[in-house]
Amino acid sequence: MKITFVGTSHGVPAKDRYCSCYMIESGGKIYMVDAGAPAAEMILRYGGDVNDFRALFTTHVHSDHTAGMVHLISLMNWYYKQSSGDFFITEQNHIDATLRWLETSGSGAFDKERLRMHVPTEGVVYEDENIKAEYIPTKHMPNAYSILLTEGEKRVLFGGDFSPWLAKDDVPKVTEEEIDLFVCEMAHFTAEQISPYLEKCRAKRLAFTHVYPLDKYNDIEAMKGKYCFDIFTPNDGDVMEI
């Protein structure tokens, strides 16, 4: 599985970072986790074809994780007529609002057979010949999740956002199982507060994204070498083969 770190900023974009968005390629198909960046443009920028798109998995409905999906859905509806996809959006209200947006923008009747909207619940929500996606609740807000993507033996955990200061003890316990990559936010807590979780974490690699305030990049530098896995801070456009 090839992962492109499309958007690595926290809740606010920076001049060189979009908000949360990851593109995953597997078996010649394209999947995305979160769409805080303009998803259609990003698929094209990184050499993909919108017709190969299969599914978008959002962790929660905050705009820095969802605002870039509307144009993708719209383009798939009226322009990329050969495309089809599954969109996992964690609130029915947000799906309704998206469909209202499309309706009032006049991009034609919405093809709900090709473009399927789902409200995910805890557990495996999607599986095809390439990947499997499992939703794991976090306590960041109502209906917020981490997402575990599995491709054969390979497992990547996209943490989504966690509760402020990790007060609700909500880093998924799946981090106690072996995973190839853990993509972890770093905006709602300190390096010290995440430390007890990382001590138990059996990831092979850990990517910190969604970093705020920016001086936490220094704290992350200081964490390197403390745990039994590599820690890195990807920039937009970085690619990793798992």
| Nearest alpha carbon to residue 36 among 74, 67, 12, 8 | 67
> What is the Cα–Cα distance from 59 to 145, expressed in whole angstroms?
5
Residue 80 Cβ vs Zn ion, minimum distance, rounded to whole Å = 28
Q: Quick one: which of 64, 86, 170, 236 contacts Zn ion (CB under 5 A)?
A: 64
Cis peptide upstream of residue 13 (ω within 30 degrees of 0): no
* Binding flag, residue 94, Zn ion (CB under 5 A): no
Strand partners, 126: 133
Question: Of 126-134, 161-169, 189-197, 212-220, which segment contacts Zn ion by CB under 5 A?
Answer: 161-169
* Binding flag, residue 161, Zn ion (CB under 5 A): yes
Q: How many residues bind Zn ion (CB under 5 A)?
A: 4
Q: Of the two residues 3 and 187, which places its CB atom closer to Zn ion in the complex? A: 187
> What is the Cα–Cα distance from 180 to 136, expressed in whole angstroms?
17
Residue 140 Cβ vs Zn ion, minimum distance, rounded to whole Å = 6
* Binding flag, residue 34, Zn ion (CB under 5 A): no
* Binding flag, residue 17, Zn ion (CB under 5 A): no
Element (H, E) at 62: none
Question: Of 50-58, 60-68, 128-136, 146-154, which segment contacts Zn ion by CB under 5 A?
Answer: 60-68
* Binding flag, residue 62, Zn ion (CB under 5 A): yes
> What is the Cα–Cα distance from 136 to 113, expressed in whole angstroms?
27
Q: Of the two residues 54 and 62, which places its CB atom closer to Zn ion in the complex? A: 62
3-state secondary structure of 194: helix
Q: Of the two residues 105 and 190, which places its CB atom closer to Zn ion in the complex? A: 190
Q: Of the two residues 75 and 220, which places its CB atom closer to Zn ion in the complex? A: 220
Q: How many residues does the chain have?
A: 242
* Binding flag, residue 180, Zn ion (CB under 5 A): no
Q: How would DSSP label each residue in 137-185?
A: EESSSTTEEEEEEEETTEEEEE-----GGGTT--S-GGGGS-BSEEEEE
Question: Of 6-14, 40-48, 68-76, 194-202, which segment contacts Zn ion by CB under 5 A?
Answer: 6-14
Which residues form the interface with Zn ion (CB under 5 A)? 11, 62, 64, 161
